[in-house]
Structure 1
Amino acid sequence: MNLPQPTPTELAALAAFDTPTICNALEVVMPETRARGYTTRPAVCGFPALKPMVGYARTARIRAKAAPTLSASEVRNQRHDYYRYVDAGPKPSVVLIQDLDGADAGYGAFWGEVQSAIHLGLGALGVVTNGSVRDIDPWAPGFQFLAGVIGPSHAYANVVDFGGEIDVLGMRVRSGDIVHADRHGAVVIPVAAIRDLPAAIDKVAKREASILAVARAPNCTAEKLIAVFKEQDAIH
């Protein structure tokens, strides 16, 4: 069944919430997502103060440790096709790159001053990768990154393929998926859940607020907290 795509307004509204909040709400709307669909490995966030990214996934895989086996012209044409792919489709986008160098992922950086500027110009909000980034000072302002490592060289960084399903930082993601990401990590949001998320976010927030009110009070006790838990269990 083809579900209606979210409106730009609906996507933008989700950027008001951090990624853990989105994960909590997804557990309410789709309990089966509780233990999947999000990053599970450490990442360096370039700009923690930037608001969360919410956009359509553009996926690719790269290698950097060994020189490509394609000819120079083939490498160039593939890179051009990759840029066309990033530019096509709904926006804003979030680029997700799987580095295929295994234990040496991050050996060479695909991302730096030039690529951050190019992808920002093509409508991307940022990148999530298990690989490396560099050129932090001249990095495109406003373009976020979550990366496995920061490094100095690009080595032989080259695009292997793009547009397929990948695994990045423990998260499976397909081209066109809706991704929410911030300094905590990233999560794939099923289209079927999007319109129900605001109500779920409000529900979780109210539940947590009643707990926090007791926990932060000067006369907090275990019994008072347990009373709140029991009340919530009776309601939910």
Structure 2
Amino acid sequence: MSLSAATLADLAKFDTPTICNAIELFFVRPRNTGFMNDTIKACFPKFPPMVGFAFTTTFRSMASPPKGDAYTGLADQVAGYDKIPGPPVMVFQDLDQPCVSATFGEVMCTIYKSFGAQGIITSGTGRDLDQVEALKFPAFTSGTICAHGYCHMLQTNIPVTVGGIWIEPGALLHGDLNGVTTVPIEIASEIPDACREIMKAEQYVLDYCKSGSPNAKGLAEARKACQAHLDGVIERVRRDK
């Protein structure tokens, strides 16, 4: 299923927790699945949300590759961007445990961004963070290591495990300072409107708490109004299926 550029831009208007809340309204997966765990953190928390499709790669840096150098495979990667349904997010599974050295630095991220990538995620680490931040290229890692060791890529566009979840090539990803989630493509076009409805529902509680003299009874009534709004959204979603 393809998504329009307008839909992707609309998804990027919302933070990742709101996206996760919206996904829950569609009952397409258990609430404790589909998002990366706390091993994956935003390198640049002030960046706006990142939205794109997973371009997956496995990676090692413990020992020299059979042939080539640290950047062997980069041209093949960018040449393969047309194999996924839209703008890519580079997703790396570092197979070395523990991680030996950085998955990416300034050169790799410059290449990826120049070919249209929206960001990078690795189960390993990154480096050159000042330079990557200056590129305005979102990055998510498990940490930082100053050297690249014998970094090399093994396979691309295969399922990988990052942040405790299985990522298929072409999976739709949304990430910000709160973390990274997958977005089921079959409901992705409906998620922005659901996000707007969630924000309207939450406003009942937020407005009441800011009213100046809240009490338990009033809070219960505000929460009831919030839930009634959400129940209406859920009913519409189920009716439209």
TM-based fold match above 0.5: yes
Q: 1:54 aligns with which of 51, 54, 64?
A: 51
Measured after TM superposition, the shift of residue 87 of structure 1 is 6.1
Identity %: 30
Between the aligned partners of 1:96 and 1:35, the Cα distance in structure 2 is 21
Which AA in structure 2 matches 1:214?
Y
Any residues of structure 2 matched to 1:178-189 within 5 Å, and which?
178-189=172-183
Query: Corresponding residue for 1:99?
Result: 94
1:77–1:145 Cα change, 3 Å: closer
Paired position in structure 2 for 1:228: 222
TM-score (norm 2): 0.86
User: 2:105 aligned with 1:115, yes or no?
Assistant: no
Shift in Å, 1:216? 2.2
SS at the partner of 1:195? helix
Partner of 1:32: 29
Alignment equivalent of 2:122, drawn from 129, 132, 142: 129
Cα distance in 2, alignment partners of residues 79 and 123 from structure 1? 14
Corresponding residue SS for 1:72: coil
Q: Distance in 2 between matches of 1:87 and 1:150?
A: 30
Q: What is the rounded CA distance, in whole Å, between the counterparts of 1:83 and 1:232 in structure 2?
A: 46
Give the equivalent residue in structure 1 for 2:63.
66
Superposed displacement of residue 18, structure 1? 0.9
Structure 1 length as normaliser, TM-score? Answer: 0.88
Out of 2, 8, 14, the residue aligned to residue 11 of structure 1 is: 8
Other structure's SS at 1:138 match:
helix
Q: Which structure is higher in strand share?
A: 1
1:108 maps to amino acid: S
Residue of 143, 148, 158 corresponding to 1:154: 148
Q: What is the CA-CA distance between 1:12 and the residue it aligns to? A: 1.0
Distance across 2 between alignment mates of 1:195 and 1:90: 14
- Structure 1 segments (4+ residues) deviating >6 Å: none
- 1:163 aligned onto 2:157: yes
Partner of 2:39: helix, strand, or coil?
A: coil
Number of aligned residue pairs: give it: 229
Question: In structure 1, what residue type is equivalent to 2:64?
Answer: A
Contact 2:57–2:157 (8 Å) recurs in 1 = yes
Q: 1:76 to 1:224 in 2, by over 3 A?
A: closer
Query: Residues of 2 paired with 1:65 and 1:44: CA distance?
Result: 23
* CA deviations over 1:93-140 (Å, ceiling 9, x no partner): 1111111112x12x2112001101011112101101111111122225
d(CA) in 1 for partners of 2:168, 2:209: 41
Displacement of 1:84 in angstroms is 2.3
- 3-state SS of 2:118 partner: strand
Distance 2:12 2:80 in 1: 24
| Structure 1 residue 89: Cα displacement | 4.0
3-state SS of 2:23 partner: helix
* Secondary structure of the structure 2 residue equivalent to 1:49: coil
CA distance in 2 between counterparts of 1:76 and 1:31 reads 39
The answer to whether the Cα contact below 8 Å between 1:64 and 1:156 also exists between their aligned partners in 2 is yes
Q: Does 1:208 align with 2:202?
A: yes
**1:77 Cα deviation after fit:** 5.8
Q: Could you say what the CA RMSD is over the residues aligned between the two structures, in angstroms? A: 2.1
Query: Aligned residue for 2:135?
Result: 141
Unaligned runs of 5+ in 1: none
Unpaired runs of 5+ residues, structure 2, are 232-241
Aligned-pair CA distance for 1:81: 2.6
CA distance in 1, matches of 2:140, 2:64: 25
Measured after TM superposition, the shift of residue 233 of structure 1 is 4.4
